[in-house]
Amino acid sequence: MKKYSPLLSLSIIILLSASSLFAQTPVKVDTLPAAVKTDVRHRYEQLPGTFTTDMKALRGKVLSPVGENDPLKFAMTRPGVSSGAEGFSAIFARGGNLGSNLFTLDGVRVYGFSHLLGLTTAVPSAAISTMDFCLGGFGGEVGGLTASHIALHSPDLLEVGFSGEASLSNTFLGASVTAPIVKDKAAVMVAVRWSPFGLEYNLLKKGFDKDGRMPSLSLGVWDLYAKAQWQLALRHTLTLSGFGSRDGYVVGFPGADYTLGWENLSGHLSYTFAVTDNTTLTADASYNHFRNRMEHEATIRDEMSFVQLQSRIEEQNYAVTGRHRFYDGHFLVSEGIRHQRSLMSPGSAKVSESAIKVVDDAPYIESISRPTLTSGFLELEFNFGPVNLMANVRGNYYKNNTARTQDAWQGFAAEFSARAKWRIIEALGIEATFDDRTQFDHTLEGTPLGWSLDLIVPSTSRLLPERAKQGYGGIFAAFGNHAITLGGYYKKMKNLVYYTDAMAMFTSAAQGWSDNAQVGDGTSYGAELLYEGRLPEIGLEWSLAYTWSKTDRSFPDIDHGNPFPARYDRRHILHASAQWKGISAAFTLQSGHWETVAAGQYIGYLPASEVILDYFTHPNNWQMPLYMRLDLGYQMDFISGKDSPHPLQHSLTLGVFNVLNRHNPSMLAYDADTRTWNQVSLFPIMPSIKYTLDF
């Protein structure tokens, strides 16, 4: 038996294709990490703990469940990473929480990084040139993370010239264009996507839902990226960019409507001055807006009311960074200072007098904070022949000016990161990283799927900044067309936040979000293996990534402080992929994640009756079954107008997720009528198709 909550039903409704909408058993799909074309020699030269990829190389090879070219899905195939619910954007890097990852676009943080309830990334792929995914040895310029950094970089417009792209899939319509304004001096770029899935769903409902069982759906999903770049003078460059995205969903069930959504809006101004051939100064200013919103019927103070819950972040950043090269680039020095001012309003609630109509002028119950963060860093890097060394120190002064004076907190935190790589001989070397990092915001993870609906809250006197110390060491080898990396890590985490009653997120918003938050520690350690190879004479490439890890949590007020497994503590994670002449295959095998279920029952006594109560041992006391999935893909490329000055390149990408139609476990749902726990799966076998035109 399968039973869904309204929000869970919403995810099924919006994201199923025609074949899965009418399947008898709902199943859910994950990513299609088809083979990634990897230059083995390039991988051999990459920095420890960092994976760099060209986004065009991922087209048709690493796909989201909806067929988009998705950088997060590539990150999920790397060793050291555990994924959340199948197909969604939640990643857990080396035992960290979902909110411990930093997601940036040209250095500006993207808070709401997911589209379609987490099935793909909010940034249009046409706006991304390269991606760096870093798990350790973080740069001194980077702050606000304790697990990983997903850094997206847009193209250098002065080097691209005139180009464009148009794409059509069953979930997105997209277009982008890059055009020079003054040759080699100024250029602009615009990339946009819009999802027609709401129209498709309603057409399906009109044609097939004769008995009216399917709920109504109104959907608005889009994103927009724009950039302008000017070469003001020989050594002076000015860049202005902006990014916006929105996800909005309104689902109508009999007697109730459910609304949720989130939005991003950011602007970035950057000025670069090449003082000399060896010294560059960069000044940055950025503005960031993020808001998420949910509303539905809920019980607050023992009364049924209509509730709206929203949180927002308004953020300003100002930074100056200097970079210097000495001795023909063998010695590098970087330094910088950054000041961040924020307004954070987590968990603002609005309650009507009845469950029928919201009172428009009803006041919001807000928890407003105005934190400031001033940071400075110094980084030294040494490169000489087979040796690469880097070390940086970062100092942070944080002050939280909050409306609740008992939560005000200010303090100083120092951070340190280092990495070392030594190629002992041509085919063999060793590498290591160490990080002592601090994060000043916490993510109260109320949804398990990685949507952008979790509350992001500041550090307070009760919820101190998160800290993590991590060390990694390993060996790497490259021989012929083969490359292999083998290593292990150990990580200690402090001041982690555990939201004890995520299902009461609405009611807790009215009482204060910190009331249900527990603070504790975490430990994670594991071994990681990555093997990549190719046979260029026949066009065959393959990759294998394996992670063995153990991650736990402990909180003083939960189970007497005894450690328990983290929810996505997957002991074994295997990703294998291959690609040959446009044909892609990807296979993943993972240990099941953990859920909390009742271990037994006992009788409780009320003044006039007896009741049966559930008994729980500790959180995450039940391991779900093994997770396994096979995906296939095919990309066909051809060129038209070869003899014309501007030939057109066409790509047709076909993907099939979960070819085995396996009902993989996603979560557990409790049936109050039968007092039983039921495994919930989403999405059966699911096809995707995408056509792309490059010009």
Which tens digits make up the pLDDT trace of 258-309? 788 899 999 999 999 999 999 999 999 999 999 988 877 655 555 555 667 7
pLDDT at 160 over 90: no
- Lowest mean pLDDT segment, chosen from 7-16, 309-318, 399-408, 499-508: 7-16
- Indicate if the alpha-carbon torsion angle 250, 251, 254, 257 is positive or negative: negative
Give the whole-angstrom CA distance, residue 282 versus residue 321: 5
Q: What is the pLDDT of residue 421?
A: 96
The secondary structure of the chain in percent helix, strand, coil, rounded to multiples of 5, reads 10, 60, 30
Q: What is the pLDDT of residue 644?
A: 79
Q: What is the pLDDT of residue 495?
A: 94
- Lowest mean pLDDT segment, chosen from 3-17, 382-396, 552-566, 615-629: 3-17
Q: What is the pLDDT of residue 63?
A: 61
pLDDT at 387 over 90: yes
- C-beta separation of 487 from 475 below 8 A: yes
Across 19-28, 398-407, 679-688, which has the greatest mean pLDDT? 679-688
Q: What is the pLDDT of residue 664?
A: 84
- Lowest mean pLDDT segment, chosen from 143-152, 382-391, 466-475, 615-624: 615-624
pLDDT higher for 177 or 84? Answer: 177
Q: What is the mean pLDDT of the chain?
A: 83
Q: What is the pLDDT of residue 596?
A: 82
| Strand 482-499 versus strand 676-680 pairing type | unpaired
Domains (range + CATH), the chain: 23-694 (2.40.170.20)
- Lowest mean pLDDT segment, chosen from 11-25, 170-184, 218-232, 611-625: 11-25
Q: What is the pLDDT of residue 64?
A: 66
pLDDT at 348 over 60: yes
pLDDT at 115 over 60: yes
| Strand 148-153 versus strand 91-93 pairing type | unpaired
Q: What is the pLDDT of residue 1?
A: 38
Compute, in degrees rounded to 10, the torsion defined by CA atoms 46, 51, 56, 61: 120
What's the pLDDT tens digit per position in 630-679? 989 898 888 888 877 778 999 998 888 888 888 888 777 766 666 676 77
- In which element (H, E) is residue 662 found? none
Confidence of residue 212 (pLDDT cuts 50, 70, 90): confident
Segment 413-428 shows an average pLDDT of 94
pLDDT higher for 66 or 283? Answer: 283
- C-beta separation of 151 from 134 below 8 A: yes
Task: Report yes or no on whether pTM surpasses 0.85.
Answer: yes
Phi and psi for 47 in degrees, rounded to 5? -75, 155
pLDDT at 36 over 50: no
Q: Where are the alpha helices (DSSP H) in 550-633?
A: none
What's the pLDDT tens digit per position in 433-462? 999 999 999 988 765 555 566 788 888 888
What's the pLDDT tens digit per position in 496-531? 988 766 555 544 444 456 667 789 999 999 999 999
pLDDT higher for 454 or 171? Answer: 171
CA atoms within 13 A on the CB side of 483: 17
* Among candidate residues 100, 49, 85, the one with its CA nearest the CA of residue 522: 100
H/E/C letters for each residue in 178-206?
A: EEEEECCCEEEEEEEEECCHHHHHHHHHH
Segment 382-398 shows an average pLDDT of 95
pLDDT at 428 over 60: yes
pLDDT at 403 over 50: yes
The two structure tokens encoding residue 50: 């960092």
Give the whole-angstrom CA distance, residue 328 versus residue 471: 31
CA angle centred on 41, ends 37 and 44, rounded to 5°: 105
Segment 353-381 shows an average pLDDT of 73
| Strand 627-640 versus strand 583-590 pairing type | antiparallel
